[in-house]
Amino acid sequence: MLEPTLITWILVVFGLLFVLFPMLFIQLLMVLRPHSHKTRDICIGKGEDWRDKTHFRMSFGAGWADLIIWLPLLAVGSVGVILGQVWGYALWAASGAISVYINIILWFSEREYVYPAYGPLVYYTYLWGFFVYWGAVVLIYSVLRLARMTL
């Protein structure tokens, strides 16, 4: 049993408010209404359009992958860490690794198109930054907790 610490609770609350719920909303929108103006405004910038079929398909595929793999790992892992279970930290570490991996790719691949629409503050914090920062911290924190370090 790995009792939740203050850091655990901070990461859970931040993850729910700024990672899980926003991504769940965006990816449901992407999967259910991929060609709507609202989806495009949120995903690529107000008044923007998909660059080409590959851009659309990547976004559509990421929406499904997030809903099927990443968001369930994050949600179930969060429940597990609140319960102090080792499996929760293992699932959390996996969700953190996925978050860091895909969002670093998106951070660079989407910069040319999304950055001008939102500016540096929003781009490097809320749009991609929170996912990279949260994922890295959760991954490191989970590994340390699984190694039985007290934080």
Residues 6+ apart with CB under 8 A from 89: 2, 77, 80, 81, 142, 145, 146
Q: Are 146 and 20 in contact (CB under 8 A)?
A: no
Please give the Cα distance from 10 to 16 (Å, whole number).
10
pLDDT for residue 151 is more than 70: no
Q: Write the burial class of residue 112 (CB in 10 Å: 0-12 exposed, 13-18 middle, 19+ buried).
A: exposed
**Average model confidence (pLDDT) across the chain:** 90
Query: For the chain, which residues make up each domain, given as ranges?
Result: 6-146
Single pTM value for the model: 0.88
What count of Cα atoms within 13 Å lies in the side-chain half-sphere of residue 133?
13
Q: Are 103 and 125 in contact (CB under 8 A)?
A: no
CA atoms 14, 15, 19, 23: torsion sign: negative
Distances (CA, A) of 44 to 3, 90, 96, 149: 40, 32, 24, 41
Q: Which residue has the tokens 């609140």?
A: 82
How large is the average pLDDT for residues 32-38? 93
Each residue's pLDDT tens digit, 67-113: 999 999 999 999 999 999 999 999 999 999 999 999 888 888 877 77
